[in-house]
Amino acid sequence: MSIISFTTPGEMQTQLAQKFKLARLAQNHSRASAATLTGVPEGTLRAFESSGKISLRQFLMLCHVYGELTQCETLFPDKTPMSMDELLADKPKRQRGRE
Protein backbone atom coordinates (compact mmCIF):
# COMPACT_ATOMS: atom_id res chain seq x y z
CA MET A 1 0.00 0.00 0.00
CA SER A 2 1.37 3.39 -0.96
CA ILE A 3 0.30 6.65 0.64
CA ILE A 4 1.00 9.90 -1.16
CA SER A 5 3.15 12.22 0.91
CA PHE A 6 3.83 15.83 0.12
CA THR A 7 6.63 16.05 2.68
CA THR A 8 10.07 16.16 1.11
CA PRO A 9 13.03 14.32 2.67
CA GLY A 10 14.55 17.68 3.62
CA GLU A 11 11.36 18.75 5.38
CA MET A 12 11.22 15.43 7.21
CA GLN A 13 14.82 15.93 8.39
CA THR A 14 13.89 19.33 9.79
CA GLN A 15 10.75 17.97 11.47
CA LEU A 16 12.65 15.11 13.10
CA ALA A 17 15.35 17.47 14.35
CA GLN A 18 12.71 19.75 15.87
CA LYS A 19 10.93 16.81 17.50
CA PHE A 20 14.19 15.59 18.98
CA LYS A 21 14.95 19.05 20.37
CA LEU A 22 11.48 19.26 21.94
CA ALA A 23 11.88 15.80 23.47
CA ARG A 24 15.28 16.74 24.87
CA LEU A 25 14.01 20.01 26.32
CA ALA A 26 10.88 18.31 27.73
CA GLN A 27 13.20 16.19 29.84
CA ASN A 28 15.12 19.33 30.81
CA HIS A 29 18.34 18.00 29.27
CA SER A 30 21.10 20.20 27.96
CA ARG A 31 22.95 19.14 24.83
CA ALA A 32 25.85 18.11 27.06
CA SER A 33 23.68 15.79 29.16
CA ALA A 34 21.99 14.45 26.01
CA ALA A 35 25.42 13.72 24.56
CA THR A 36 26.38 11.80 27.71
CA LEU A 37 23.12 9.80 27.71
CA THR A 38 23.11 8.93 24.01
CA GLY A 39 26.80 8.69 23.16
CA VAL A 40 26.30 11.19 20.33
CA PRO A 41 28.81 14.08 20.47
CA GLU A 42 27.44 17.46 21.54
CA GLY A 43 28.61 19.09 18.30
CA THR A 44 26.69 16.48 16.31
CA LEU A 45 23.56 17.22 18.35
CA ARG A 46 23.99 20.94 17.66
CA ALA A 47 24.37 20.28 13.93
CA PHE A 48 21.38 17.92 13.91
CA GLU A 49 19.13 20.43 15.65
CA SER A 50 20.13 23.22 13.27
CA SER A 51 20.37 21.37 9.94
CA GLY A 52 18.66 18.01 10.42
CA LYS A 53 21.81 16.17 9.29
CA ILE A 54 23.01 13.17 11.29
CA SER A 55 24.20 9.64 10.58
CA LEU A 56 21.63 6.87 10.72
CA ARG A 57 23.41 5.12 13.60
CA GLN A 58 23.51 8.31 15.66
CA PHE A 59 19.86 9.01 14.88
CA LEU A 60 18.94 5.53 16.11
CA MET A 61 20.94 6.18 19.29
CA LEU A 62 18.82 9.30 19.86
CA CYS A 63 15.64 7.31 19.21
CA HIS A 64 16.75 4.74 21.76
CA VAL A 65 16.93 7.36 24.53
CA TYR A 66 14.38 10.00 23.50
CA GLY A 67 11.93 8.23 21.22
CA GLU A 68 10.63 4.84 20.27
CA LEU A 69 13.38 2.84 18.61
CA THR A 70 10.94 -0.03 17.99
CA GLN A 71 8.92 2.16 15.59
CA CYS A 72 11.84 2.00 13.16
CA GLU A 73 11.10 -1.70 12.69
CA THR A 74 7.85 -0.80 10.92
CA LEU A 75 9.45 1.38 8.24
CA PHE A 76 9.92 -1.43 5.71
CA PRO A 77 7.20 -3.98 6.47
CA ASP A 78 7.31 -7.52 5.14
CA LYS A 79 4.27 -8.59 3.18
CA THR A 80 2.79 -11.47 5.12
CA PRO A 81 0.78 -13.95 3.06
CA MET A 82 -2.87 -14.03 4.15
CA SER A 83 -3.82 -17.31 2.46
CA MET A 84 -2.23 -20.50 1.25
CA ASP A 85 -2.68 -19.30 -2.36
CA GLU A 86 -0.71 -16.13 -1.60
CA LEU A 87 1.96 -18.15 0.14
CA LEU A 88 2.39 -20.43 -2.87
CA ALA A 89 2.24 -17.52 -5.35
CA ASP A 90 4.93 -15.55 -3.49
CA LYS A 91 7.91 -17.60 -4.55
CA PRO A 92 10.95 -15.36 -4.30
CA LYS A 93 12.41 -14.58 -7.70
CA ARG A 94 16.13 -14.63 -8.09
CA GLN A 95 17.48 -11.17 -8.77
CA ARG A 96 20.71 -10.15 -10.32
CA GLY A 97 22.59 -6.90 -9.87
CA ARG A 98 21.96 -5.86 -13.47
CA GLU A 99 18.78 -5.72 -15.43
pLDDT at position 59 is 96
Decide if 81 is inside a domain: no
Decide if 88 is inside a domain: no
Decide if 41 is inside a domain: yes
- H helices present in the chain, as ranges: 9-26, 31-38, 42-51, 56-66, 84-89
Give the count of domains, the chain: 1
Domain around 36: 9-74
Query: Taking 70 as the threshold, does the pLDDT of residue 54 lie above it?
Result: yes
pTM: 0.73
Query: Taking 90 as the threshold, does the pLDDT of residue 79 lie above it?
Result: no
Decide if 51 is inside a domain: yes
User: What CATH number does residue 23 fall under?
Assistant: 1.10.260
CA torsion through residues 16, 21, 26, 32, sign: positive
* Measured distance CA(95)–CA(41) in Å, rounded: 40
Decide if 95 is inside a domain: no
